[in-house]
Amino acid sequence: MEKIYLHIEKLLAQHDYVIVPDLGGFVVQKQSAQCLKDRITPPTYSIAFNPLMQHTDGLLVIEIARFNKISYRSASELLEKNILELKQTLSKNKTLEFGQLGTLVMDNDLSIIFNPTPHASFLPLNFGLSPVYTSPKNRKPTNNTITLNTPSFQWQKLSAAAILIFGLLFVTPSADDSRNINTADLTSFIKANIEKERALMLTQKSDSIVSSTDSVASEVTSPKVVPMAAATTSSKLFHVIVGSWAGEKSASKHCQMLKDENFKDVHVVHPQKGYHIAIKSFETKEEAVEFMKNVRKSEKRFSSAWVLCEDKFKS
The pLDDT of residue 272 is 66
The pLDDT of residue 154 is 67
Cβ(299)–Cβ(251) below 8 Å: no
The pLDDT of residue 291 is 92
CA atoms within 13 A on the CB side of 222: 3
pLDDT over 70 (residue 289)? yes
The pLDDT of residue 187 is 52
Per the model's pLDDT, the better-predicted residue between 11 and 172 turns out to be: 11
The pLDDT of residue 230 is 34
The pLDDT of residue 38 is 82
The pLDDT of residue 180 is 45
pTM value surpassing 0.75: no
Which segment of 161-175, 247-261, 270-284 scores lowest on mean pLDDT?
Answer: 161-175
SS (H, E, C) 116-153: ECCCCCCCHHHCCCCCEECCCCCCCCCCCCCCCCCCCH
Residue 112, exposed/middle/buried by CB under 10 A (0-12, 13-18, 19+)?
middle
The pLDDT of residue 200 is 62
Cα–Cα separations (whole angstroms), residue 153 to 129, 138, 156, 157: 54, 46, 5, 6
| 134 bridge partner residues | none
Cα–Cα separations (whole angstroms), residue 227 to 205, 220, 221, 224, 234: 37, 18, 18, 10, 22
Cβ(254)–Cβ(58) below 8 Å: yes
Helices 59-68/72-93 angle, 10° precision: 110
pLDDT in tens, 108-132: 877 888 888 877 777 877 777 678 8
Q: In the 8-state DSSP scheme, what is residue 214?
A: H
Per the model's pLDDT, the better-predicted residue between 315 and 83 turns out to be: 83
Residue 97's φ and ψ, nearest 5 degrees, are -75, 125
Average pLDDT along the chain: 75
Which segment of 143-147, 155-159, 169-173 scores lowest on mean pLDDT?
Answer: 169-173
The pLDDT of residue 305 is 87
Contacts of 270 (CB under 8 A, 6+ apart): 248, 276
Q: Where are the domains of the chain?
A: 4-133, 238-313
The pLDDT of residue 234 is 56
pLDDT in tens, 203-238: 555 554 444 444 433 443 333 333 333 333 457 789
H helices within the chain, ranges in order?
4-12, 59-68, 72-93, 153-169, 186-221, 248-260, 285-298
pLDDT over 70 (residue 147)? no
Cα–Cα separations (whole angstroms), residue 224 to 148, 221, 230: 74, 10, 19
Contacts of 246 (CB under 8 A, 6+ apart): 15, 16, 274, 275
Work out the average pLDDT over 32-38. 83
Q: Give the sign of the dihedral formed by CA 271, CA 277, CA 281, CA 287.
A: negative
pLDDT over 60 (residue 47)? yes
| Integer Cα distance of 207 and 200 in angstroms | 11
Confidence band, pLDDT 50/70/90 cuts, at residue 273:
low
